[in-house]
Structure 1
Amino acid sequence: MRDCLHSGYLLGSKVLRKLAADPCGSVTPPRCPCRRRRLARVRSVEISTRQARVRRQRRALGADVQATSAAALAAHIWSLPEMRRAGVVGTFVADDGEVSLWPVVARLWAEDVAVTVPAIDDADRLVFLRWRRGGELVPGRFGIPIPACGEAIDVRNHDVILIAGVLFGPRGARVGRGRGYYDRALAFRIAPDAPAPADGPMLVGVGHLFQWDPQLVCRPQDVALDAFVSPAGVRRFGRDLAPWN
């Protein structure tokens, strides 16, 4: 065990592991800054390990499995009433083994719904560019495809935004690739004068079922999702407490 210079108490590795594995709060976390920082480092390492494992698992999926998953995912996404009445929907181009949204995008175009995809602008901000039917895609920042030409649509003017991630958890928790672009773009959702969730876009995390992590914690500074959709079903958070479909 090691001494904590701030409090004079001892903090052992077993206690750290118990605290890191206790997101529900039955173990009282230490108040000392040293202990809080140490605990944060433990949790960060654990999350990074889980992220790496999930990304390897995604990349190992075969084309047939991905196609079946994309079709099942689309059916569950369209079960959301918010999708069926949406006029502007944010999507993404699948990368790194992410489940494809192509069946969803094709139907949105067929129903004349405006489709956008995320891009990073010159000011290093996440924006949403209109992707029209048949529009060419070119490599953007980090090699992720974006429309060759497409006007930006304000994030607040979307009805639904389908968001990729690496890990998803209870209460709308999400972990992406660690750059924080989505949290910054959606920060208006947690501002002091934030509108009610029903007045803003519905935020839907999208991933494979094995990306669900029941121990993932949604921190106060995180922008929580309203739902998580996988090929296995739908889990809603902020707008109701409906179980898996």
Structure 2
Amino acid sequence: MHDSQSIRKQVLAERDLLSPGERREKSEIIHHHFLDLVNPFHPVTFFLFVNFRSEVETLELIGQLLKSGKTVTVPLVSVQEKSMTAVRLIDPETDLVPGYFNILEPRKDLLKTRTIDHKSIDIVVLPGSVFDERGGRLGYGGGFYDRFLANEVLPSALRIALAFELQVQGEIPQEPHDQPADFIITEQRVIRGNLDPSRRKYTER
């Protein structure tokens, strides 16, 4: 089995080869799969990543969720504390500015008025570099989402990763601290991971 660093590098290089048109088209299909999966459970509060570089695009999905009246939050990263704070979006165009690594994140002045209780999050939408068919996930090496899932949100918050099919492998190496995804949604399929019993309500259909 290859080490995680070389797998990450190889898969991200492949993902970078997708054209903007391909990314947009595949991302739209992924959005449809995502909404089909979550809508029956009437979740209220979402925590989503804002796409960067060649990731699955999420700004359109954020817009759709806002239009449907959902509470949409995105991370504001603290590099010093190696943590993320969920900040509510109202208007992504004015609320988001380039932050950590030039990734769009909420303006710092919104921390006082728009920070939400992380325990109120129903669904965490995960980015990542590589995934496997058991729900395994490799991030980008910073551990921000692993810490967030382990310490900040309730165990009942559903974890859904968005990825292109080329990012999914049969099996990837995992460390004890790596937090898995409950579902991985690609443009081709919805992969169900090994759900924690506290999140089983999401499969009772």
Alignment TM class, shorter chain as reference: 0.7 to 0.9
Any idea what the Cα deviations from partners look like across 1:74-117, whole Å, max 9, x if unmatched?
A: 11001113575111111111112001012311210111111111
Q: Confirm whether residue 215 of structure 1 aligns to residue 174 of structure 2.
A: no
Structure with the greater relative contact order (CA < 8 A, sep ≥ 6): 1 or 2? 2
Q: Confirm whether residue 143 of structure 1 aligns to residue 102 of structure 2.
A: yes
1:81 to 26, 29, 38: 38
With the length of structure 2 as denominator, give the TM-score of the two structures: 0.83
Secondary structure class of the residue paired with 1:79? helix
Q: Which position in structure 2 is the counterpart of 1:111?
A: 68
Partners of 2:82 and 2:176 lie apart in 1 by: 24
Structure 2: stretches of 5+ with no match in the other structure: none
Secondary structure class of the residue paired with 2:36? coil
Q: Which position in structure 2 is the counterpart of 1:206?
A: 162
Q: Which position in structure 1 is the counterpart of 2:185?
A: 229
- Offset, 1:219: 4.1
With the length of structure 1 as denominator, give the TM-score of the two structures: 0.70
Any idea what the Cα deviations from partners look like across 1:6-29, whole Å, max 9, x if unmatched?
A: xxxxxxxxxxxxxxx3xxxxxxxx
Q: Which position in structure 1 is the counterpart of 2:135?
A: 172
Identity of matched residues, % = 24
2:18 to 58, 61, 76: 61
- Offset, 1:51: 0.9
- Offset, 1:142: 1.9
Contact 1:169 1:217 in 2 (8 A): no
Tell me how large the CA RMSD over aligned residues is: 2.3
Q: Which position in structure 2 is the counterpart of 1:163?
A: 126
| Cα 1:82/1:188, change in 2 over 3 Å | farther
Which protein shows a greater Rg? 1
Contact 1:109 1:115 in 2 (8 A): yes
Of 141-150 and 81-90, deviating more is 81-90
- Offset, 1:185: 1.5
Partners of 1:115 and 1:61 lie apart in 2 by: 28
AA partner of residue 63 (structure 1): P
Q: Confirm whether residue 182 of structure 1 aligns to residue 114 of structure 2.
A: no
Structure 1: stretches of 5+ with no match in the other structure: 1-20, 22-42
Aligned length: 191
Any idea what the Cα deviations from partners look like across 1:177-208, whole Å, max 9, x if unmatched?
A: 1111111112148xxxx96x4xx210111111
Q: Which position in structure 2 is the counterpart of 1:7?
A: none
